[in-house]
Structure 1
Amino acid sequence: MRITSFGNEPDRENPHGVSVKKLYDTEHAQVMHIELKPGEKLKKHVTPVDVFFYVLEGEGIVEIGEEQEKVSKDMIIESPARIPHRLMNEGTGTFRFLVVKVPRQTDQTKLL
């Protein structure tokens, strides 16, 4: 059995300049924990695989393609492969979510 606590994982260097922790990484899937402080956002990017986001805490804005929606705790948001997307914290509290990639991507994410 393997148990991972996000609090014990180091932040991973990333082009977005935000807190990203890798929680799960196998040949089949990958799970990242991202925390956006007020005013922080991910840069618009494209992933080569389908992704879903699960909101753990707070509220934020998710932009996928031309659509934008406000999301909050306990919501799951699907993001299809090769569609530009980003998440933003325009509020005053912390916005935390999981990013789940299945299957695990083998090509690099492309920033736009």
Structure 2
Amino acid sequence: MKITNYKDAEKKDNPHGVAVNKLYDTEHAQVMHIELKPGEKLKKHSTPVDAFFYVLEGEGIVEIGDEQEKITKDMLVDSLARIPHRLMNESDSVFRFLVVKVPRQTEKTRLL
């Protein structure tokens, strides 16, 4: 059995300049923990695989394609491959979520 606390997980450099920890990374799937401080956001980008976001704490805005919605704790958002998306924290508290990519991403993410 392997147990990983996100605080102890490998920190992942990223073009967004935000806190990302790699929780799980196998040939089949990837799970990243992302923390956005107030005012932080991901740059608009697209990934070559399907993903979903699961909100652990706080509230944020998710933008996928032309749609934008407020999301809060315990919500899951489906994000299809190659659709531009980003998440933003416009609140005054921390916004933490998981990003799960299945199958595992082998091509690079494309910043827009």
Which category of TM-score, normalised to the shorter sequence, fits these structures? over 0.9
The residue that corresponds to 2:56 in the other structure is 56
Whether 1:19 and 2:19 are equivalent positions in the alignment is yes
Structure 1: 4+ residue segments shifted above 2 A: none
Matched, 1:32 2:56: no
Letter in structure 2 aligned against 1:36: L
List gaps (5 residues or longer) in structure 1: none
Aligned twin of 2:81: 81
Aligned length: 112
Q: Give a deviation string over 1:58-79, Cα, whole Å, max 9, x none.
A: 0000000000000000000000
Quote the RMSD (CA, aligned, Å).
Answer: 0.6
Q: Distance in 1 between matches of 2:41 and 2:53?
A: 14
**Residues 24 and 32, structure 2, Cα contact 8 Å, conserved in 1:** yes
Instruction: Give the share of equivalent positions with the same residue, in percent.
Output: 75
Q: Matches of 1:84 and 1:76 in 2, distance apart?
A: 18
State the distance in 1 between where 2:94 and 2:105 align.
28
In the aligned structure 1, how far is the partner of 2:93 from the partner of 2:65?
A: 25
Query: How big is each residue's C-alpha offset from its partner over 1:12-67, in whole Å with a ceiling of 9 and x where there is no partner?
Result: 11100000000000000000000000000000000000000000000000000000
CA distance in 2, matches of 1:83, 1:54: 18
Aligned AA for 1:55? V
Unaligned ranges ≥5, structure 2: none
TM-score, structure 1 normalization: 0.98
Structure 1 residue 102 displacement after superposition: 0.5
TM-score by length of structure 2 reads: 0.98
